[in-house]
Amino acid sequence: MKRILPFALLLSAFALGSCLEDNPDYAAGVPSPTISIADVRNLYQGTDVLLDNGKLSGAHQIGGLVISDASGQNVPGGPQAVVVQNRRKGLIRGLVLPMPAGATLDYAVGDSVLVDISGATLTSQGGGLLITGLSPANITKVSSGNVPVVQPATIEALRTSPDTYEATLVRVTGGNITPAPASGTTYSGDKNLVDGSGNLLVLHTEAAATFASRRVPASATFQGIPVTTTDANGQPQPQLWLRTLADAIDPSGPVYAGFPESFEGVPQSTKGSYNMNTAAVPDNTVTFGTGPWKLYQTILGNTAGRDRYTGTQGLRMQQNLTVPAVAEMQFDLPNGASKVTLLYGAYYTDAASSWMLEYSQDQGATWQQTGPTITDAGNWQHSITFLMSIEGPVRFRVNKLGLGTSAPPAILNGRLGLDDIAIYEN
């Protein structure tokens, strides 16, 4: 008995640990009863998969956090479905788990659950993956009140890498409902959310959703669960399912044409030095899709896993300076601004930094801060929204403060990454 006890305790630890979003690796020599959602998704190769002991490498369950909200009646897979996500080795992946009609669901966002999937079927519905053959009896709730990770995602990223985001909780900035909604247009049905480059995401709301009859805004930061469907031509078409009305965050006027500025379309080598003044880059100014931007003590960064960007590159601002680094528009937008959103994060393992968003209404002669000074850049990608009500022509810049050489904890002045700056009309 003394030899059996440590083994039993070890299995118990695995079961409890699997309920966290960070799913444990297998321990050497001990088959885990839990398999990650990422590994389950990888089993699908175009045909249905019976999830037996052999396919699951000796496991029989997945663990994760519930991200669906049945109260909104807008859940991929049907109102009786449960959507869970977990994280293993930095990969956040999710799955839709339909439940039988009439089943009683007692799960809330943030519940940590274990799901026995042995004998169920991994299948595709309209292009998206789900597990059928389950009932509430297969789900064990372990804890409540956990906070699921919300991944920032662009419309372009959802289109080009749908498997990365499908059935996870994401937040999308930088898009307009197109055509612009007339007075009285509601959420019900499919609405096209389009970014400044013409990438399209379908915002889907079931007719029975509790917010289906509410007016849809021209633009907002939309949060929800993406799934993959197919369009009329049989091509993959991502949909975003808001869970409740609260998933439409900071509604505003439409995003300006051409935004969000993704700092793509220009070779990284164009601005490979922090301070340049050449014929191609006069006074650190580089022209992107939206117009010319001054990138003082700022380069185009494209180092995967270190720079913070979507697409192929973003901005990286220099560290340890005693003067400000700036990413500054050299052009005005005509109709004021109601909101600015962007992505940011510290480069690699650098210290955080201090930066602010500023605006000018005299062609850059003087600048005023809007919103707070931001000091929380960590070694991952954040999204942030600045709300305002500015009328008339306006331009913006990000001003990274020159605090000197980092000396934690008193001075934090690491390199800062920026991307996907979106500006919304007032």
Reported as a single tens digit per residue, the pLDDT across 236-258 is: 789 999 999 999 999 888 999 99
What is the predicted pLDDT for the residue at 26?
Answer: 44
Residue 422 DSSP label:
E
What is the predicted pLDDT for the residue at 125?
Answer: 86
Q: Report how far apart, in Å, the C-alpha atoms of 355 and of each of 155, 323, 326, 386 are.
A: 26, 12, 9, 13
Coil, helix or strand at residue 208: coil
Bridge partners for 203 per DSSP:
191, 240
Place of tokens 């850049």: 377
**What is the percent of the chain with per-residue pLDDT over 70, rounded to a whole number?**
93
| Torsion, Cα of 371, 377, 381, 382 (10° steps) | -30
Give the residue from 321, 315, 313, 303 showing the smallest Cα distance to 345. Answer: 315
Measured in degrees and rounded to the nearest 5, phi and psi for residue 186 equal -105, 175
What is the predicted pLDDT for the residue at 64?
Answer: 96
| CATH topology agreement for domains 31-143 and 268-424 | no
What is the predicted pLDDT for the residue at 197?
Answer: 85
Residue 194, token pair as written in the block: 């389009």
Measure the N-to-C terminal CA separation of the chain; round to a whole number of Å: 72
Residue 57 DSSP label:
T
Place of tokens 């000796």: 58
What is the predicted pLDDT for the residue at 229?
Answer: 87
Give the residue from 354, 244, 262 showing the smallest Cα distance to 301. Answer: 262
CA distance 3 to 203: 56
- What are the domain boundaries of the chain? 31-143, 151-252, 268-424
What is the predicted pLDDT for the residue at 231?
Answer: 78
Which helix (H) or strand (E) segment is 82 a member of? strand 82-88
Q: Under CATH, which number does the domain 31-143 receive?
A: 2.40.50.140
CA distance 404 to 202: 46
Give the residue from 147, 160, 313, 177 showing the smallest Cα distance to 226. Answer: 160
CA distance 239 to 241: 6
Rounded mean pLDDT, 335-350: 96
Q: What is the pLDDT of residues 348-364, one digit of tens each?
A: 999 999 999 999 999 99
Chain mean pLDDT for the chain = 91
Which helix (H) or strand (E) segment is 7 a member of? helix 4-17
CATH number 3.30.410 is the correct assignment for the domain at 151-252: no
Rounded mean pLDDT, 207-219: 95
Residue 306 pLDDT > 90: yes
CA distance 241 to 243: 6
Peptide bond into 236 cis (omega under 30): no
Q: Report how far apart, in Å, the C-alpha atoms of 224 and of each of 62, 206, 413 are.
A: 22, 14, 34
Place of tokens 């909780």: 169
Topology of domain 268-424 in CATH is Jelly Rolls (2.60.120)
**What is the percent of the chain with per-residue pLDDT over 90, rounded to a whole number?**
80
Which helix (H) or strand (E) segment is 159 a member of? helix 155-160
* 8 A C-beta contact, residue 221 and residue 341: yes
Rounded mean pLDDT, 41-70: 95
What is the predicted pLDDT for the residue at 21?
Answer: 52
Residue 23 DSSP label:
P
Longest alpha-carbon distance in the chain:
81
Which helix (H) or strand (E) segment is 96 a member of? strand 91-97
